[in-house]
Amino acid sequence: MSLEVITVKNLSKSFGETRAVEGMTFRVYQQEIFGLVGPDGAGKTTTMRLLTGIMTPSAGEARVMGKHTVREAEALKEEIGYMSQRFGLYNDLSVEENIHFYADLYGVPQRDREAKIDFLLSFSNLKPFRKRLAGKLSGGMKQKLGLICALIHTPRVLFLDEPTSGVDPVSRREFWRILYQLVKEGVTIVLSTTYLDEVERCSRVGLIHHGRLLACDTPEQIKKLMPGTILEVVAPQIRRVASLLRTRLAVESVELFGDRLHLVTSSPAITGQEVRILLQQAGIPLRSLQQVEPTLEDVFVSVLARMQRGEGGHALAH
């Protein structure tokens, strides 16, 4: 069994009448990439701030590397790295100067510093840009520089709050390559994201909505929470098709996924036949109708729909 690095028990945080985080319980193990996923306002950033000791919980507790996030907050800072959504890079300082600034903040000894900076610059492919002003870097390069600054003191646990938000797909892929390498080096990573395709790359995932943990497991296990079968419909005038099927079909859900629809049904053969008839009657050609495996987005939409109907969500915290 892997070493338990983070333990969260009934963690809650309120701001007046607003419950930002409510009764959250989960564990994170050594060398995992643990993803917190949910829409904006779900409570991801508040959870990050509670786990890094920046914020004090209203109830419950958390321990990171065995250290209590409130009582041992100062000692905890030596063990963790934290990259917030708006990481504090100084645009008028060079790449190298920004790194030295954070090395000073973390008290990194001068004797080890140059070798470590050199390694991190090579590791992130930023070595050719060490003299460039941070303000002149691309979005992807700024994210890499933020990551270096969070790693300069060799943390054992790294917290990343939406690290690839607003970054182009190529830079996102490169960023993930670096994260996998860090895990091989022994680092445990907790990250938040709104990109459900990224969650597939995590060891385990926590689905959050309105401050509550709906499910917590591997991406494969979370997909098994999906009730029914998914039928994918491809047709022209897809929004018109969505409106028609929502009105006429008795199915779990009808959701738009780009240029196609996903229908969740407990009777795929009957539903498939109904779709064909309805589109034929409407004079809309059916380009494709097939059964597909659920994505995490399908699961998330399904769990939220059930909660809104009052059926409750799953809470599988391991």
For residue 152, give the nearest of 88, 78, 75, 52 by alpha carbon. Answer: 78
Alpha carbon distance 159, 34 (integer Å): 10
Cβ-contact 190, 157 below 8 angstroms: yes
Name the CATH superfamily, with its identifier, for domain 229-293: ACT domain (3.30.70.260)
How far is Cα 194 from Cα 196, in angstroms, rounded to an integer? 6
| Residue 317 pLDDT exceeds 50 | no
Q: How far apart, in Å, are the Cα atoms of 249 and each of 12, 68, 239, 246, 258?
A: 40, 52, 15, 6, 21
For residue 214, give both structure tokens.
Answer: 């709906």
pLDDT digits (tens, 9 = 90+) for 211-248: 999 889 999 898 887 888 899 999 999 999 999 999 99
| CATH code for the part of the protein at 4-223 | 3.40.50.300
pLDDT at 198: 84
Mean pLDDT calculated for residue range 89-106: 91
* CB distance 177 to 196 below 8 Å: no
HSE-CB for 34 with a 13 A CA cutoff? 28
Q: What is the pLDDT of residues 153-164, one digit of tens each?
A: 889 999 999 888
Chain centroid to Cα 215, Å, comes to 13
pLDDT of 305 > 80? The answer is no
Confidence bin at 315 (pLDDT 50/70/90):
very low
Domain range list for the chain = 4-223, 229-293
35 confidence band (pLDDT: 50, 70, 90): very high
The CA-based diameter of the chain, rounded to the nearest angstrom, is 77
Residue 318 has pLDDT above 70, yes or no: no
Distance of CA 278 to the CA centre of its chain: 38
Query: Rounded mean pLDDT of 173-185?
Result: 89
Question: What local confidence, expressed as pLDDT, does residue 308 receive?
Answer: 64
Tokens describing residue 231: 């039928």
Under the banding of pLDDT at 50, 70 and 90, the label for residue 283 is very high
Distance of CA 272 to the CA centre of its chain: 34
31 and 187 Cβ atoms separated by less than 8 Å = yes
Per-residue DSSP letters for 258-285? TTEEEEEES-HHHHHHHHHHHHHHHT--
- Asked whether the domain spanning 229-293 has the same topology as the one spanning 4-223, the reply is no
Tell me how crowded residue 220 is: count the other CB atoms within 10 A of its CB: 8
Report the SS3 class of residue 197.
Answer: helix
Report the pLDDT value the prediction gives residue 311, as an integer from 0 to 100: 55
